[in-house]
Structure 1
Amino acid sequence: MGKRRRVAERRKTTPAVVGGAIAVVVAGAGIGVYTLYGGGGAAADDRAQKSAGYSEAKKTGPLSAAEVQTAAKAFLTAWQQGKPAEAAAATNDTTAATTLLTGYTKDARLKDVTLTAGTATGAKVPFSVKATVSYKGLTKPLAYDSALTVVRGATDGEPVVDWHASVVHPELKDGDTLVTGEAGAPPVKALDRDGGEMTTARYPSLGPVLDGLREKYGTTSGGSAGVELRVVRGKESKKAELSDKTLVELSKGTPGTVRTTLSPSLQAAAEKEVAKTARASVVVMRPSTGEILAVANTNHGFNTAFQGSLAPGSTMKIITSSLLFEKNLASANKPHPCPKTFTYGGWKFQNDKKFEIKGGTFKASFARSCNTAFISQAGKLKDSDLTQQAQQVFGLGLDNWAIGVSSFDGAVPVQTAAPMGASLIGQGGVRMNPLNMASVASTVKAGVFHQPYLVSPSVDHRTLATASRAMSASTLSQLREVMQYTAAYGTAAEAMAGLGPDYGAKTGSAEVDNQKKANGWFTAYRGDLAAAGVVQAGGHGGDTAGPIVASLLKAGS
C-alpha cells in the first residue's frame, strides 16, 4: 500500500489541463514557461504502475501519439526545470545526454530556458528554444529551433527520446559541446587578393573557409578574443575536419587580418554558378603558382570542394593515361583496344551503353572516355603503380598539403585484382574532391605539380608539398594532346566550345551505391587557369559540372 500511496501523492502534483494543453510553470532562477500537449493518459498510468513495482512484457509495434507526446513531455519538462539527470533518463543514452545537458547550464551558461513544443509528425517532435546567455555580467538572448524523435527503448520497449547532440542544438554533432567564454581564437577579417573584405553575406559558400581561417590564424593575425557562445568540436567532428562555430557573440573581439588568394570577381561568379544546381562544388586555381582563386559549394554547411572524399570517375583517367604513356602501354596516336566489355579480376567492366571503338587510337578512347581501353592494361601494371604515379607526379594522397585551411589531399590506395582495375577509371578506392582534380589539370598545364594554396606560405612560413618527380617531356606532350582533343572533339566539346585552342579537359561520371544517377565530374584548364567541379547525382559530367567549370574559365580570362 505504501508504494500505491506515494504514486497517488505524485499524481496530485500533475499540472492542470488548461484548454486541452498542459501548462507547466516553474518558479526559480533559470526556468521559463513550457507549453506542451494534452494529458499523460494511459502511458502516464503505465509509467506510474511500473514505478510501483509492476512489470509487463517488452512493448513493441508502432508508437502511439500519446506515447510520443508523453516521452517528449517528460524529456523537455525535465530539461527546462534544470534537471539534466531526469531528462537524460528519458532518452536512450543516459550518459551522453547527462553530460551535454549538464554542460548546457554549467559550460554554455544558459539560463531562463523556455521550451515550446510544436505539432508532432509521427515520432518527430519539433520544439523551439529561448534562453539567455550570461557570462560575467554580459547577457544576450538565444533563440533557435530543434527537434527530437521518440523511439522504443531497446530493453523494455518504453518510448524514449532517441539521443543525439543535435537535439540540444542543431549545430551540434555527437561528441560536440557548447561553451561560453573567451573565444577559442580571435576573429579574423579575411581579405581577397585585392584587399577587399570577404564575408558570408557576400559570399555564402565561404562560411567553412572563414571558420577555418580563424582557427588557423586567429591567434597569430594580430587580433584579440571576444566572449561568445560557441560549438566546440569533439573527436569525431575533428576527424571530419569541422571547425568550432560561434553561435552568439557577447562581446566583440578585435579581428586580425588574413589575406587570401581568392579573386573577388571569380568568387562571385563561382557562387552564382553553383547556386543554379543542387549539390554542386567547384574550385578555380592558377597553374603557374598554385593560388586558389575561387571555391564554392551549393551546400554552405560543408566544404565539399576542399574536404569532400568522392570517387572521381573518368577524370582519374588523366593520371592513369600519364602512367600508361610512361610504361609504353599506350601512345596518343597509335591504335588502342576499346572493346564493349573487358573482364579483369573476376569483374566485367563495360563502357557507357556498351559502345566500342574499332581500330581507334588511344586519343579517341580518351576523348570518348572508353573504360575498357584502360582496364585492358591492368594486367600489365603492378598493384602499386597507380598509387605511386598519383603521389610522385601529382602530389596526391600523401596527406601533406598545407593550403591554409583544412583540406583532403586525395587518396589512391594500393589495391589488387578487380578493385585495382576499377581504380584506373576513378572507381574502387580512389577518392578525390574538386580541389584535387583542379590540381591534376593544373599539373598538366604547368608541367609540374604546384601545391594549391589559399593563403600565401609567406604569411606563416609554412612549407608547401612538392612532387618527387615530374613527367617526361613525351608523357606531358601526349597528355596535353589528348586533353586538348577531348575539349575540342570529345565528351567535353560542348561545354568547352569557343574556349580554345590553349585548353584541355576531361569529363567523368562516378557511380555511387544506392544513388540512381552518377556524380558528374569535369576538370579543365585554359591559359593560366585550371578548374574542376562535381555535381553529385548529376549524371554525365559534361552536361552538369562542365558548364560550371567552362563558365568560370571564360570569366577568368
Structure 2
Amino acid sequence: MTTHHSTPGPPLAPWEPQGPPRRSRTAVRALLAVVLVLALTALGLYVAKAGPFARPGADGPDPAAAAQARGFLADWSHDRLDAAGARTTHPAEASRILGSFTSGLEITRPRLSAGVPREAEGGAVEVPFTARMPVKGLGTWTYTSRMPLRQAKDGDGGRWLVDWKPGLVHPRLSGVAKFRLDREDTSEPKAKDRHGKPLTSAAAPSLAPVLAQLGDGGAGPRGAIRLVDRTSGEVLRTEARFGAKEATDKVAETTLDSTWQTAAEHALAAEPEDRNASLVALRGDTGEILAVANSPATGFNRAVSGTYAPGSTFKLVTSSALLMKGVVRPDTVVDCPKQLVVGKEFHNVETSFFPDATFRKDFTESCNTAFISLRDKLAPTALGDVAREYYGIGQEWHIGVPSYDGSVPAPKDETEKAASMIGQARLQANPLIMASVTATATTGRFRMPHLVPNPKDTTKTTPLPAQVTTDLRTLMRATVTEGTAHILSDLPGEIGGKTGTAEVSDDAPNNGWMVARRGNVAIACVVEGGVTGSGSAGPILHELLSRVPGDGE
C-alpha cells in the first residue's frame, strides 16, 4: 500500500460569515447603464430648465428680454441715444427724452447696471436697474428704476422691446413733472502764494481748478436736482443735494509764485493756434511747484492729472538706465539709421538719420532709432524700475490736490519694449511728472512735487549716481546749444532742454513736448496736436523764461 504525503498549507483563518455571491459582470454593466441614463436625464432637465442654455418659456424670463434690457442700458450710458430708442416701442420719443434728461441735468456719463429680470403680468418681463448719474462739477445722483419689456407682434419678428414710458428713466418723471438742476453761487477758496500775495482765478485763470481742489477757505460747489411741475415750474420735491461746505475765512498757503504763475498764463495765451496746452514749473531743490497752467484755463486740470505719452522727453529716464548700466557714455558711437523695424517700422522725426553718431548726437537730435537699437542692453523691466526707484514715477504723490503720478508698465513684447525706449507704448505722464523728471535728472535726487507746504511724503527713492547727473546736464545743455531745443539758445543763463514728439494715433497729429531747466527751476510743457516739441512747446517755454529772469528763489 502506497502512502501519499501532502505539503501542509497555511493555517485556516477564523470563520467569517460570507456575503451574497458575486454579481456577474453583465449585471454590473446593466446597473451602471441605468445609473448613466438617470444622470443624463437629470442633466437634460437642468440644461432645459435651469442651466445656462435654458429654453425660452422654461423656468424664468426669456434671456432675450434681459439681453435687450442690457443693450438699452449700454446704449444709453454711451450716449448712443438713437440706438437706445430703437430698442423701444417709441424710438423717437425715447431718444429725445433720454437726451433732454442727461443734457438738461448736465449728466456727463450715466453708469447703469441691470438687476435680475422677473416675469410680469401679461407675459411681460421687468428688469430693475441702478442709475448712477455724475452731475458735472457736483457729484453723483444715484437712484433705482424698473424697465418693462414686451414681445413685439409677429410682424416685428417677435423680438423683445423696451415698453417705453418716461417713468422708466426715473420713477417720478412723467408728462406733468420733470427734473431741473439748480446750481448755487459759491465763493472761490482763498489762497496766497509763497510770498503771501493773494491768488485768484481772476488774475490767473488757470488756477480756477487748482483753487477749487485746494478747498480751504471757500465754499465747495453746491446744487440740487428738483422735481418741478412742467407747466408752472413749481418745485414739487428735492431729489438730490450736492455739497454742504460753507465758506470760511481760512486762507490756503501754497508754494506757487505769482510771478511765475502770471508768466505761465501769458506764455500759454501766446500759443497761436489755440490748441490745448499745459505746463508746470517747480523748484529742483525742494519740489515746490511755482506755476500750474492750462489752456483753456477752465475745466480739467491736465497739467497735473492728464495722461499723455511723454515721447522723447522720457529719454532722460532711458538715458539714465543706459548710463547707469554702463551701456553708453556720451562719446560712444551709436548709429542713427533712418528707420528700424521691430515688429513695426520706427523712424525719426522727418526721417532724419546720422551715420556713426555718438550717443551725445543721438540725444541732442532725439534719434529714436539709436535708442531703440539699444533695447537689448536693458532688461524688460529696467525702465520701469529706474522710473520708480530713482524718479518716483508710479509712487503715490501727495501734492496738495488730486494728481496722476505716472505709469511705466513692463512691455508685453519686443515692439512695446522698442516703443518704451522712446517714451511711447503704454507709458503715461503729464507736465507735473516730466517737470519732476527734469528736476531729478539735473539735481540727482527726487523731491516729491507739492503745491502746499509740508506735504505728506511716503515716497522712497534712491539718488542718481553723480556721474549720471553730470552727463544728463551736459546732454541737456548740448540739446539747447546744438540740438532740437535750439529755440532756447538766445536766452540768458545756462539752460538745458529736451524735446519730445509723441504719437497719439494714425489719424491724429502728434503731441509736442519740451522740458527745460534753468538754474533751480525745471519746467515741462505739452501741446496737444502740436506736431513737434520744438515747434509748439518750444515757443511757450521761450516766452515763459523770457518773462521771468530769476530761478525761483
Amino acid at match of 2:259: S
Shift of 1:192: 1.4
Instruction: Please state how far the C-alpha of 1:322 moved relative to its aligned partner.
Output: 0.7
CA contact (8 A) 2:194 2:257 kept: yes
Give yes or no for contact 2:213–2:402 (8 Å, CA) kept in 1.
Answer: yes
Aligned pairs (5 A) from 1:63-212: 152-156=85-89, 158-159=91-92, 160-161=95-96, 162-163=98-99, 166-170=102-106, 172-174=108-110, 175-177=133-135, 188-212=189-213
Q: Is the 8 A contact 1:181 1:227 kept in 2?
A: no
SS in 2 for 1:430: coil
Q: 1:530 aligns to what SS in structure 2? A: strand
Matching residue within 524, 530, 539 for 1:538: 530
Check whether the contact 1:503–1:524 (CA below 8 A) recurs between aligned residues: yes
The answer to whether 1:492 aligns with 2:485 is yes
Residues of 1 paired with 2:331 and 2:452: CA distance?
A: 41
Point out the structure with max Rg over C-alpha: 2
Distance of 2:371 and 2:496 partners within structure 1: 20
Hey, what's the Cα distance between the residues in 2 that align with 1:432 and 1:417?
22
8 Å contact 1:387–1:412 — kept in the other structure?
A: yes
* 1:369 Cα deviation from its structure 2 partner: 0.5
User: Would you say the 8 A contact 2:366–2:484 is kept in 1?
Assistant: yes
Query: Cα–Cα, structure 1 residues 267 and 187, in superposed 2: closer, same or farther, change >3 Å?
Result: closer
Amino acid at match of 1:210: L
SS at structure 2 position matched to 1:525? strand
The answer for the alignment partner of 2:510 in structure 1 is 518
Measure the CA separation in 1 of the matches of 2:75 and 2:362: 58
Retained in 1: the 8 A contact 2:317–2:387? yes
* Unaligned 5+ runs, structure 1: 1-91, 98-122, 125-147, 232-246
CA RMSD, aligned part only? 3.4
Partner residue of 1:285? Answer: 282
Whole-Å Cα distance in 2 between the matches of residues 207 and 367 of structure 1? 37
Amino acid at match of 2:305: Q
Q: Provide the rounded CA distance (Å) in 2 between the counterparts of 1:227 and 1:361.
A: 56
Q: Tell me the CA shift for residue 172 of structure 1.
A: 4.7
Post-superposition offset of 1:155: 3.9
Matched residue, 2:302: 304
Please tell me the residue identity of whatever aligns with 2:401: V
Summarize deviations over 1:264-308 as a string: whole Å, max 9, x none. Answer: 111111112112332011111110111100011112211110000
Cα distance, 1:396 vs structure 2: 0.5
In the alignment, which residue of structure 1 is the partner of 2:497? 505
Compared with structure 1, are the counterparts of its residues 226 and 494 closer, same or farther at alpha carbon in structure 2 (3 Å cutoff)?
A: closer
Aligned to 2:368: 371
Task: Sort the Cα spacing of 1:358 and 1:454 in 2 relative to 1 into closer, same or farther, 3 A.
Answer: same
In structure 1, give the amino acid aligned to 2:318: T
1:317 to 315, 318, 342: 315
Query: Which has the higher mean CA deviation after the structures are superposed, 411-420 or 509-518?
Result: 509-518
Cα distance between partner residues in 2 of 1:163 and 1:410? 36
**2:397 alignment partner in structure 1:** 401
CA pair 151-424 structure 1, distance change in 2 beyond 3 A: same
Tell me which amino acid in the other structure corresponds to 2:518: R
State the secondary structure of the residue aligned to 2:391: coil
CA contact (8 A) 1:516 1:537 kept: yes
Q: Deviations over 1:378-433 (max 9, x none)?
A: 122211000001001111112x1000000111111111311111011010010010
CA gap 1:270/1:515 in 2 versus in 1, 3 angstroms: farther
Kept in 2, the 8 Å contact 1:335–1:362? The answer is yes
For residue 176 of structure 1, what is the amino acid of its counterpart?
P
Work out the CA distance in 1 between the residues paired with 2:193 and 2:249.
16
Q: 1:465 to 1:489 in 2, by over 3 A?
A: farther
Q: What is the distance in 1 between the residues matched to 2:547 and 2:361?
A: 29
Is residue 260 of structure 1 aligned with residue 258 of structure 2?
A: no
Q: Is the 8 A contact 2:75 2:84 kept in 1?
A: no
Go from structure 1 to structure 2 and tell me whether the alpha carbon gap of 1:496 and 1:410 turns closer, same or farther (over 3 Å shift). farther
Q: Deviations over 1:197-221 (max 9, x none)?
A: 222222111121111111xxx4xx7
Contact 1:495 1:543 in 2 (8 A): no
- Alpha-carbon offset, residue 515 of structure 1: 4.3
Q: Which residue of 1 aligns with 2:327?
A: 329
User: Structure 1 residues 227, 405: CA separation in 2 closer, same or farther (over 3 Å shift)?
Assistant: closer
Write the deviation string for residues 297-352 of structure 1: whole angstroms up to 9, x where unpaired. 112211110000000111011110111111111111221121112222x2221112
Q: Compared with structure 1, are the counterparts of its residues 248 and 413 closer, same or farther at alpha carbon in structure 2 (3 Å cutoff)?
A: closer
Once the two structures are superposed, the pairs formed by residues 349-498 of structure 1 within 5 Å of their partners are: 349-398=346-395, 400-415=396-411, 416-457=413-454, 462-498=455-491
Q: Equivalent residue of 1:488, what SS?
A: helix
Q: What are the Cα deviations for residues 472-524 of structure 1, in whole angstroms up to 9, with x where unaligned?
A: 12211111111110011100012342234x22100001111154321000001
Q: What percentage of aligned pairs have identical amino acids?
A: 37
Partners of 2:318 and 2:245 lie apart in 1 by: 54
Query: Aligned pairs, how many?
Result: 390
* Structure 1 residues 337 and 266: CA distance shift in structure 2, 3 A: same
User: Would the alpha carbon gap of residues 169 and 467 (structure 1) be closer, same or farther in structure 2, given more than 3 Å must change?
Assistant: same
CA distance in 1, matches of 2:101, 2:195: 41
> 2:420·2:427 contact (CA, 8 Å) conserved in 1?
yes
Change (3 A) 1:95 1:543: closer
SS at match of 1:456: coil
Q: Give the 3-state SS of the residue equivalent to 2:353 in structure 1.
A: coil
Matches of 2:311 and 2:102, distance apart in 1: 34
Q: Distance in 2 between matches of 1:371 and 1:486?
A: 15
- In 2 relative to 1, CA 227–272 (structure 1 residues): closer, same or farther, beyond 3 Å? closer
State the AA in 1 paired with 2:538: G
Does structure 1 conserve the Cα–Cα contact (< 8 Å) formed by 2:337 and 2:354? yes
Matches for 1:215-234 after TM superposition, within 5 Å: 218=216, 228-229=222-223
Distance 1:150 1:259 in 2: 50
**Contact 1:165-1:173 within 8 A present in 2 as well:** no
- Deviations 1:425-462 (CA, angstroms, capped at 9, x unpaired): 010010010011111111122221111100012xxxx4
Deviation at 1:363, TM superposition (A): 0.4
Letter in 2 for 1:412: V
Aligned residues of 1:451 and 1:465 also touching (Cα < 8 A): no
Deviation at 1:555, TM superposition (A): 2.9
Q: Partner letter of residue 193 of structure 1? A: R
